[in-house]
Structure 1
Amino acid sequence: MSGILGGCSNAGPANAPADSAAPARSTQWYDEEFFKKPAPITDIAEKIDVDIVVVGAGNGGCIAAVSAADLGAKVAWVEQNAGTITWAGEIAALNSKVAKEKFGVSYSEKEKNKIVNDICRYASYEVDQRLVKLWADHSGRTMDWFVDKMEAKGIHMFLETDVYKSEVYTSLPVTHTVYKGEFIELGPNRMGSQIANPAWVEYAEEMGVKKLFEHTAQQLVQDGSGKVTGIIVQRKSDKAYIQINAAKGIILSTGGYAGNTAMMDALRFRGKDFVANNLGGDGHNGDGIKMALWAGAAIDRNHCGNAFNRAIIDSNRHVGEPFSNSINDLWWPGSQPWLKVNTRGERFMNEDGPYDYQIYGGVSQPGKFWFQIFDSNYWEDVQAFHTTICSRLVAVKGARNSEILPGLFPVKSEEEFDSVIMAPALKNGKLKKADTLEDLASQLGIPAAAFAETIKRYNQNAEKGFDADFGKNPTKVRPVAKAPFYGIALGSWLLCTFNGIKINTNLQAISEKGDPIEGLYVTGNDSGGFFANSYPEYYGGLAHGRTTCFARLAALHAVTGSIYES
């Protein structure tokens, strides 16, 4: 048996001669059989010669393709879909001109290094700190290039300055987001990659980039030294194979493997068994990661994904595969620090803090989910909570107040909150409403007596202004006392994966020994080394920020041999 389990099998019969050949034990932590290199594709129908091939048309692919063309390279751009992917729109960057000049925000070298170490500490330093520092040092100038390009298309940049601060957790104004037309201070605004990525396509077409959309990457081509010299793609229309030779390099940015449950198993993905919703994983099949592994690259074993505590658990209490991927199974207020109880009706943690911390506490409970409980003072509560970045519910000045998902946005009033948030969840029956706590417990299927005792204790803490049980910020301990009462079962929503191919500070894929694989660059969620264990949610847009910065640097190095602009 190959893979991890192979190391547990007997090497041979107990009485075998000492010099008999024994099967080699696997040294890999993942299922090697799953990543076995396929036979070379030889029935090539067409060959194309370019300088750079960019694979993927998400946030990273858009930046890489336009950057390479902007530097004068002849570029082929490969994407399995018919258009760009527009998930996420927030981009974290430090010391951009727009942040400094328009919003008065900048960071000293000391502050910048503090941010780098904070991000690494969040990952228990199981990352390559050089990569985090690379982002901190170069994200600002990357953003300057980004802003200049967007402004030329009539698209503007906003910096979110309304940030979260508490005695325990603090976020910083690093989140940039594009918008078009007039910015509405209290929104909702249409913002993000759904505006930027079509503009990048326009640029690509103006610059003569050869678009091979609806083409799926299959294999990398290497010469005798191991240098990557091209890629074989398959055209959707007729299934023909095309070999694209790249004189200067291939840049992979295909979006990770959140849509490939078999690959999750092969990589022992940490969170798979407690994922409830996987909206955002469609099409992200790990193709770029597999091709890089076949070419001799190493993969980061430090599992991490971007997860949110907003997946609705159905009435059958199902968690795990098969995952839901429905927008109707998301409850956006899931990150509000209302009371949480488990299936026994017991409170079990401090409900305030990063989304992923809340998930890990919740999935440790029976059934790998939890219940969120609140009363009819919910509008007063969410205003007092004042959550920010991706968990924002209330529109305020200094925030981007953008449309989050279709029809979902930070609201300005209780009436708007009722129509946008409450009414749909009550109508589909996933949010429970009751005039008594006993009835709410019955609807949720939890012990009424234990639940009543938990509420009593929680309300006593609220009255005293001190959470004697878990030390929650007193301003976040809001009593559950005014009928009607509400409850909903919640779990983990996985948006994407982050453990990908190991890279160096030139964005080149590297081997287990750390040697670069010439001609091969990896960025976005295909790359690893930047995040581990958990995603630092309070640095809003850090994933997209890393992708934007590194895609630009990869193109620079591939075309010019340096990450610095001449």
Structure 2
Amino acid sequence: MNKISRKGFLKIAAAAAMSGVTAGALAACNAASSSSAAPAASGAAGTYIPGTYEGTAEGISSTVKVTMTFSDSAVTDVVVDTSGETASYGAAAADQLREQLMAAGSAEIDGVSGSTITSDAVMKAAKSCYAQARGEAAVTSVQLPTGDENDWLGKEPDIDEAAITETVDTDILIVGAGNGGMGAAAYAAAHGLNFRIIEQNGNVQDTRHWVGAVDGFGAQAQGIKMDRAKLLSEISRYASGKCDQRVVKTWINESGEMIEFIRSIMEDKYGVKMVYTYGDEAKWPAENAEHNTDYMYPEIEYTYDRSSGAARNELLLDYIRELGYDVDFKTSLAKLEKDSTGRITGIIAQSTEDDHFIRYNANKGVLLACGGFPGNPYMMEQLDPLGTSVTTACSYSPADKGYGIRAAVWAGANLDKEAAPMLFDRGIVAPGVDGGYVASDSAFGGKAFPGPIRQYNPGTQPFLKVNRNGERFANESSPYNDIVYAAAHQPGRVYAQICDANVLEDAKRFHTIGCSAQTRNGGEKYFQGKVDEAVAAGTLFVCDTIEELADKLGFTGEAKDTFLATVDRYNELYDKQNDEDFGKPAYRLSAIRTAPFYGCWLGASLLTTEQGIAINDKGQALDNDNKPMPGLYVTGDMSGSFFANNYPCLMAGVAMGRTLTYAIKAIKQMGGLE
């Protein structure tokens, strides 16, 4: 984005008027198409610089665009583009909003009932147009550009000093009020440090409840001692060696202290009981060792009594407020700033309410905790084409668009070269739907995953799975992501799962762990709720015969014959209690003989991405020579050096454990606490 000061804008506009070129064209705005409308309210002659101007703002699910044409005294035309908003609400409001803007002669309009967020975005975009027409605007909303289908990174904004109207001085700046940011803020507040925390949204972000820690209070209570060397090796194996083992060791060695700090707030301060898994609930049965599938569950997964209605991030917000701190909400990262030595000195942020710019000077450092990029299709398709191709549904936060990663890369940080999506084998879809994006007018970037349900939890159970040819193609007893990656080599990159009336009895015998255990632990009520939801969505079929199920799933001709033969073969393997075809442990085989029969098509459900900015064992961001960047720390899903290929899902909670451990580590470093 080119830097344009107000003085420079007016000078160029005057020259443009003499040469017949509009100021709007010089400001890189597209001319609006003409349309008839009632005359707008007029101002005094010379109020505006004649031309066409464009403003944008974030709506409920897309970037809203307003294009306005001005004479020297009035608005002569308005085009409102809300086509990316929800069709029955925001998108339908465009004409009414246009009429209101034409009649008002300002950006202050009533809006449309039922489309509040879209209306607010239109008013915000219109304010930008008015400011440009008055020669007041240096830049517009710089946090919005996302690159395009050929350039996920885009360009760092060049913000004119005249546009920065507010300055905040602090020692420590935390960017992002999610899990990492709020954990860091709580630790800084507990130690009386001078810090500020900003968040682009109007509230703290969703709590990810499950936290993995090594030798924490739960392990101590149960007399469990982890083999730390084996754990380090296991995580490195999951990443195919593409991690920094020193970064992993910081989590291994310091996560116990981290979970005790969280416990002290949750239990001691607010009386919310912390709970954890251990023993048989935290390991696969021993039969797996016979088939070289003995995956290690190497740490204890902590959460808390969620029946209390508590959310950890909300409690941490209460905690810092009680200690005299707060979050600067609706404040978005625009760019990092550094001095002549290369040290990160702070950031320039932008208010998402009125677009004014704020300089945050951070004397001791900046911690970026802005999340990954699952909500950004430009980044997903270019940085993780494989994960994108096998995904059919999503359960990510739509706010996670990778803005923090882009800002860090602009400043010279090193982004991991290997994708690491968090994929769950629960992306249920209707027959005939392929993996990957589909066009969507209501989604950011115009693309969305097709699955109507965030996660169909029974999809993780190791039942028979077949491709569109009716063929079995893999050992179904595996970590969550293995089967969806195997489907990358199958037609449509999806697969069908088949089971019979003994589904809950089978699930108990399978004894899957982590969040997939909800199917066996939830019982009939939980399972039936999932079935009813999927049936209503047209993605699950419950049939009296296998032949009927084959038809419902869309098998025809040779594929149907193959499917029926595959079911017969699977029953034969179950009777033998020996999977001669793919080596699945016998206790994870199941018969398919008793009606009703259940069938559905599945792909991956994307939760988040773990491909982030490379860090060292202190949480410092690394540059492209893998040297620490003074003054810059990173945690959470936007930090790297820990995962590659995929997320080790059988180590439940390890990502959040890493996030909170490095949140505290960064505060210790910047605050001089170690």
Q: Above 0.5 in TM-score?
A: yes
C-alpha offsets along residues 391-438 of structure 1, whole Å, 9 cap, x if unaligned?
01356xxxxxxxxxxxxxx414x3x14532222222332111222222
- Cα 1:326–1:372 change in 2 (3 A) is closer
Offset of 1:314 from its aligned partner?
2.7
SS of residue matched to 1:155: coil
Q: Does 1:332 align with 2:457?
A: yes
Distance (whole Å) between structure 2 residues aligned to residue 298 and residue 493 of structure 1: 28
Write the mapping of 1:105-124 to structure 2, written as runs, cut at 5 A. Answer: 105-107=224-226, 111-124=227-240
Write the mapping of 1:31-46 to structure 2, written as runs, cut at 5 A. Answer: 34-42=153-161, 43-46=163-166
What amino acid does structure 2 have at the position aligned with 1:437? I
Distance (whole Å) between structure 2 residues aligned to residue 432 and residue 49 of structure 1: 60
Q: Which residue of 1 aligns with 2:571?
A: 459
What amino acid does structure 1 have at the position aligned with 2:255? S
Offset of 1:336 from its aligned partner?
0.2
Distance (whole Å) between structure 1 residues aligned to residue 416 and residue 603 of structure 2: 26
Write the mapping of 1:467-482 to structure 2, written as runs, cut at 5 A. Answer: 467-482=579-594
Distance (whole Å) between structure 1 residues aligned to residue 430 and residue 347 of structure 2: 43
Offset of 1:557 from its aligned partner?
0.4
Distance (whole Å) between structure 2 residues aligned to residue 243 and residue 267 of structure 1: 31
Given candidates 50, 53, 63, the residue that maps to 2:183 is: 63
Distance (whole Å) between structure 2 residues aligned to residue 197 and residue 557 of structure 1: 22
Given candidates 542, 545, 550, the residue that maps to 1:441 is: 550
C-alpha offsets along residues 291-313 of structure 1, whole Å, 9 cap, x if unaligned?
11111111111110111000012
Write the mapping of 1:488-527 to structure 2, written as runs, cut at 5 A. Answer: 488-527=600-639
| Contact 1:60/1:253 (<8 A) preserved | yes
Q: Which residue of 1 aligns with 2:273?
A: 156
Offset of 1:206 from its aligned partner?
1.7
Offset of 1:240 from its aligned partner?
1.1
Offset of 1:329 from its aligned partner?
4.9
Q: Which residue of 2 aligns with 1:10?
A: none
Q: Which residue of 2 aligns with 1:405?
A: none
Write the mapping of 1:109-508 to structure 2, written as runs, cut at 5 A. Answer: 111-151=227-267, 152-161=269-278, 162-165=281-284, 166-167=288-289, 168-172=293-297, 174-180=299-305, 189-190=306-307, 195-321=311-437, 322-324=447-449, 328-394=453-519, 410-412=521-523, 414=524, 416-446=525-555, 447-508=559-620
What amino acid does structure 2 have at the position aligned with 1:422? V
Given candidates 515, 533, 545, the residue that maps to 2:657 is: 545
Max Rg structure: 2
Distance (whole Å) between structure 2 residues aligned to residue 425 and residue 124 of structure 1: 36
The structure showing larger relative contact order (alpha-carbon pairs under 8 Å, at least 6 residues apart) is 1
Distance (whole Å) between structure 1 residues aligned to residue 463 and residue 432 of structure 2: 23
The answer for unaligned runs of 5 or more in structure 1 is 1-29, 181-188, 396-409
What amino acid does structure 2 have at the position aligned with 1:226? G
- Cα 1:118–1:329 change in 2 (3 A) is closer
| Contact 2:428/2:451 (<8 A) preserved | no
Distance (whole Å) between structure 2 residues aligned to residue 443 and residue 383 of structure 1: 27
The answer for unaligned runs of 5 or more in structure 2 is 1-148, 438-446
| Contact 1:257/1:281 (<8 A) preserved | no
SS of residue matched to 2:304: strand
Percent of aligned pairs with the same amino acid: 35
| Contact 1:313/1:319 (<8 A) preserved | no
Distance (whole Å) between structure 2 residues aligned to residue 172 and residue 482 of structure 1: 34
Q: Which residue of 2 aligns with 1:15?
A: none
Distance (whole Å) between structure 1 residues aligned to residue 384 and residue 455 of structure 2: 26
What amino acid does structure 1 have at the position aligned with 2:655? A
SS of residue matched to 1:190: helix
Q: Does 1:80 align with 2:196?
A: no
TM-score normalised by length of structure 1: 0.85
- Cα 1:418–1:309 change in 2 (3 A) is closer
Q: Which residue of 2 aligns with 1:20?
A: none
TM-score normalised by length of structure 2: 0.72
C-alpha offsets along residues 180-224 of structure 1, whole Å, 9 cap, x if unaligned?
4xxxxxxxx5389x5211111011112222421111111112111
| Contact 2:152/2:378 (<8 A) preserved | no
Distance (whole Å) between structure 1 residues aligned to residue 664 and residue 453 of structure 2: 36
Distance (whole Å) between structure 2 residues aligned to residue 260 and residue 143 of structure 1: 31
| Contact 2:153/2:406 (<8 A) preserved | no
| Contact 1:159/1:174 (<8 A) preserved | no
Distance (whole Å) between structure 2 residues aligned to residue 49 and residue 275 of structure 1: 43
Q: How many residues align?
A: 504
Over aligned residue pairs, what C-alpha RMSD do you find? 2.0
Q: Which residue of 1 aligns with 2:118?
A: none
Q: Which residue of 2 aligns with 1:48?
A: 168
